[in-house]
Amino acid sequence: MANKAIIYAIYPNNKQNEQCQKTFGCCRFVYNQMLTVQQNRHKSGEKHLSKMSANTYCNQHLKTDYPFLKEVDKFALTNAVYHLSGGYDRFFKHLGKFPKYKNKHKARKSYTTNFTNGNIDIGNNYIKLPKLGKVKAKIHRVPDDNWKIKSATVTQNRDNTYQVSVLFEYDKIVYDVPVTDTVAIGLDYKSDGLYVDSNGKTADMPHYYRKSAEKLAKSQRKLKHMIIGSNNYNKQQKRIAKIHRHIANQRKDFLHKESTAIAKQYSCVCVEDLNMKAMSNKGFGNGKATLDNGYGMFLNMLCYKLQDRGGYFIKVDKFFPSSQLCHCCGFKNSKLKDLSIRRWDCPACGTKNIDRDINAAQNIKYEGLRLLSA
């Protein structure tokens, strides 16, 4: 069995919008209340409540003390308790920080509800959700008949638009795809253009953030001269959020199309296991371009799309000297540690005018195929 989510844009009416706001507030309230309960139990030396025990406490005590919690979807409150429990689990495993209280103005407006007795359904131009009924939606993709709905997560974005992520469960078909040199490709990260592949092709990704930088700066200058908390201030914040969301949507659209094209054409993709967070710091001097590329997001898309098609996604160690090796003879040229050298001649085999990026992509491909065969 495997899971896959599809995100739909939804357009709730005024009554449905009001119900969503109530649910967001109640989920945040329950999260904060249970965090207080857990902290008080820790201070008094009592045992930490498990996920199920915390949910029972919410149903027996919080809903009795605060009757307004009964007005919203019960599964949304249950999942809020489970999210807090997940935060504690990550903290105990040293995978995250200690859970914090959610702020009304800063916390993400979102809640998750579970499927039961047909309470979630997808129609031609609507999505049926608990307590909301049929919500107008843009159904751009219809799930297969054998896909079963598991849950739905409703989210309000910063620009006041809504979306719902519907999670499906389905039987995964395992493909056995043979890997040959012709259906394998190596990708080398390129700050100006996203990547260069082993065939010499560059993605030529547009710099969406830089294209909208002037418009964004103008909107932010207007915000600077407004009174914090005023209606005009809040309206201007939404305009800025809309610009940011437009940039993010442009980037995601390009990355999805590029990753889908590669996954359809090749059954094995080899990449470098880079630390993109470290590469975006001030030391390299190109942090804005690195973040605008979204290379890490691109690799995640490639990974799951290849797995769906039975392909292979190979990560080569980041310390592998892909740029310093000649792809023809394997000669290592230590002078290439200087990033300003873009083309060079191999003194061992005599290959002339070697392009640094294409050579690195070819070496990544050969190393990835070696790791796969090993």
188 is annotated as an active-site residue: yes
Q: What is the 3-state secondary structure (H, E, C) of the chain?
A: CEEEEEEEEEECCHHHHHHHHHHHHHHHHHHHHHHHHHHHHHHCCCCCCCHHHHHHHHHHHHHHHCHHHHHCCHHHHHHHHHHHHHHHHHHHCCCCCCCCCCCCCCCCEEEEEECCCCCCEECCCEEEECCCEEEEEECCCCCCCCCEEEEEEEEECCCCCEEEEEEEEECCCCCCCCCCHHHEEEEEEECCCEEEECCCCECCCCCHHHHCHHHHHHHHHHHHCCCCCCHHHHHHHHHHHHHHHHHHHHHHHHHHHHHHHHHHHCCEEEEECCCHHHHCCCCCCCHHHHHHHCHHHHHHHHHHHHHHCCCEEEEECCCCCCCCECCCCCCECHHHHCCCCCEECCCCCCCCCEEHHHHHHHHHHHHHHHHHHC
273 is annotated as an active-site residue: no
176 is annotated as an active-site residue: no
Catalytic residue among 258, 272, 292, 367: 272
Catalytic residue among 188, 197, 292, 367: 188
- Which residues is 272 bridged to in the sheet? 316
Catalytic residue among 73, 197, 292, 357: 357
Catalytic residues: 188, 272, 357
